[in-house]
Amino acid sequence: MKQSLTPVRGTNDYLPKEMAVREYARSIILSTYKKYGFMQISAPILEDINNLMGSDGGDNEKLIFKVLKRGEKLDLSAPNLTEQDIVDIGLRYDLTVPMVRLFCANQNSLPQPFKSIQIDYSFRADRPQRGRSRQFIQCDIDILGDSTINAEIDILNTTAKTFLALGFEGFAIKVNDRRVLSDLIAYAGFPQESEKDVCICLDKIDKIGLDGVAGELQERGYNKKIVEKLMGALESILKNGINALAQYGVRDEVVQSVNKIISSVNALSGGKYRAEFNISIVRGQGYYTGAVYELYVDGFSGACGGGGRYDNMVEKMTGKSVPAVGFGLGFEPTCMLISERGLLKVKEELVACVYRPEDDITEVLKFVEKLNKTYNVSAVCAKKNLGFQLESLKANGFTKFVKFGTNTIEDL
């Protein structure tokens, strides 16, 4: 069989220089999340296919990598085969659905409310693009069991402090609320059952503009007058901001809730980042019920993460209502920006301990043992052209070298 040297389409190999950035980012993110009292858990990448397909994940459900049944359970000779017949497991498309399943199965062993951390892989068979991968790490924090906006504020404050700790200067948390969108859609006169469908179009305001969204809504068969009424409201809100919401039928308590989240996050920012209302934040998943938000680092057009309130997911699984709020930090775009902007300041020293082929490896490794109380030290056998070899080591991340048996550690 033909072997391929490239990674599977849409995935990446990471070399030592890239892994240095990734490990640095992982450790800063994890330690900052822990500082704010969140606790780490981990659910499997493999998840029951029915849990994934019934999870209200919007378009993400179309992007699931599905795993073939094994052994006797798989019968490819059966007539009229469907995917349901031959698939029992999927790779999770996000960390939220498996985390909620884990929470439901272990409620009695976890604190109430529960503040969780997950740093783990998810998979989507998405169209490959810059800063994205079909296998990607997300760094999620969630609070389960707090129905007040204290949860949103805690989540957003912890997230913002994490981006500060990573060295980012200048970023915005853009906040909206599904109930704002819901009230606007009702105000314009759309039938209630079309809310999710309309939200999917509104999610594209950033990409195709208001006119594009209006066109798409009409193509989907919505009445022109209703669409125009909604566009009028959105145009005014885009211009005048959150204060315009009340005149288009958005409930007072929803406006106050959004305002309080934004003002609290800003009060905690020390002027180093900002929270702001943005009507075009919608989020793709169907499971959101309240606040939704995304984080944008200045100078980069894509989001570095997002999340919101999803109060119905636990109830759907167990029948018992538990409110929930989360934020998923996008590890891939964040690491890309750390690299591009040179935010990785601390570099680990790597010393080559060069020995000759005739040296006794036991003695060489004893020598290494002494040095690596201070440095990371690699035993490297000398080649004939030592000068060239040292150049090559330097190009590959080594910073110093020492000849076995000498006491002089020299810069490369």
User: Which 50-69 residues touch a second copy, going by CB under 8 A?
Assistant: 50-51, 53-54, 65-68
Residue window 68-107: x/- pattern of binding to a second copy, with contact defined by CB under 8 A = x-x-----xx---xxx--xx-x-x---------xx-xxx-
Start-to-end C-alpha separation, the chain: 44
Cα–Cα distances in Å, from 240 out to 186, 201, 215? 20, 22, 23
CA 174 to chain centre: 16
Q: Shortest gap between Cβ of 26 and a second copy (angstroms)?
A: 10
Q: Is 46 in the site for a second copy (CB under 8 A)?
A: yes
- Tell which one of 208, 246, 381, 386 touches a second copy (CB under 8 A): 381
Q: Is 15 in the site for a second copy (CB under 8 A)?
A: yes
Q: Is 36 in the site for a second copy (CB under 8 A)?
A: yes
Q: Which two tokens stand for residue 81?
A: 């085969």
Cα–Cα distances in Å, from 238 out to 203, 230, 234, 243? 14, 12, 6, 11
Q: Shortest gap between Cβ of 336 and a second copy (angstroms)?
A: 15
- Tell which one of 29, 47, 175, 287 touches a second copy (CB under 8 A): 47
Residue 279 φ then ψ, to 5°:
-65, -20
Q: Shortest gap between Cβ of 14 and a second copy (angstroms)?
A: 4
Q: Shortest gap between Cβ of 215 and a second copy (angstroms)?
A: 26
**Closer Cβ to a second copy, 312 or 318, answer by number:** 318
Q: How far apart are CA 202 and CA 216, in angstroms?
A: 10
Q: Under rule CB under 8 A, which residues in 151-170 are in contact with a second copy?
A: 153-154, 157
- Tell which one of 190, 293, 398, 401 touches a second copy (CB under 8 A): 398
Q: What SS3 state is found at 309?
A: strand
The one segment of 167-175, 177-185, 194-202, 356-364 that binds a second copy by CB under 8 A = 356-364
Q: Is 348 in the site for a second copy (CB under 8 A)?
A: yes
- Tell which one of 215, 397, 409, 412 touches a second copy (CB under 8 A): 397
Q: Which two tokens stand for residue 140?
A: 């999620």
**Closer Cβ to a second copy, 208 or 381, answer by number:** 381
Q: How many residues bind a second copy (CB under 8 A)?
A: 106
CA 169 to chain centre: 19
Q: Under rule CB under 8 A, which residues in 260-279 are in contact with a second copy?
A: 264, 267-268
**Closer Cβ to a second copy, 164 or 238, answer by number:** 164
Residue type, 402: V
Q: Is 113 in the site for a second copy (CB under 8 A)?
A: yes
Alpha-helical regions (H) of 189-312: 195-202, 205-219, 224-240, 252-267
Q: Under rule CB under 8 A, which residues in 288-347 are in contact with a second copy?
A: 316-318
The DSSP 8-state label assigned to residue 397 in this structure reads: T
The Cα angle at residue 34 between residues 266 and 52, in degrees rounded to 5: 90
Rg for the chain, CA atoms, rounded: 26
The answer to whether the CB of 31 falls within 8 A of the CB of 166 is no
- Tell which one of 372, 391, 405, 406 touches a second copy (CB under 8 A): 372
Q: Shortest gap between Cβ of 306 and a second copy (angstroms)?
A: 21
Residues 380-409 as b or e (16 or more Cβ within 10 Å = b): bebeeeeeebbeebeeeebbbbbbbeeeeb
Q: Is 259 in the site for a second copy (CB under 8 A)?
A: no
E strand or H helix at 18? helix 16-35
The one segment of 143-151, 164-172, 182-190, 248-256 that binds a second copy by CB under 8 A = 143-151
Cα-Cα-Cα-Cα dihedral of 100, 319, 325, 61, to 10°?
A: 60
The one segment of 150-158, 164-172, 186-194, 212-220 that binds a second copy by CB under 8 A = 150-158
Q: Which two tokens stand for residue 202?
A: 């509104």
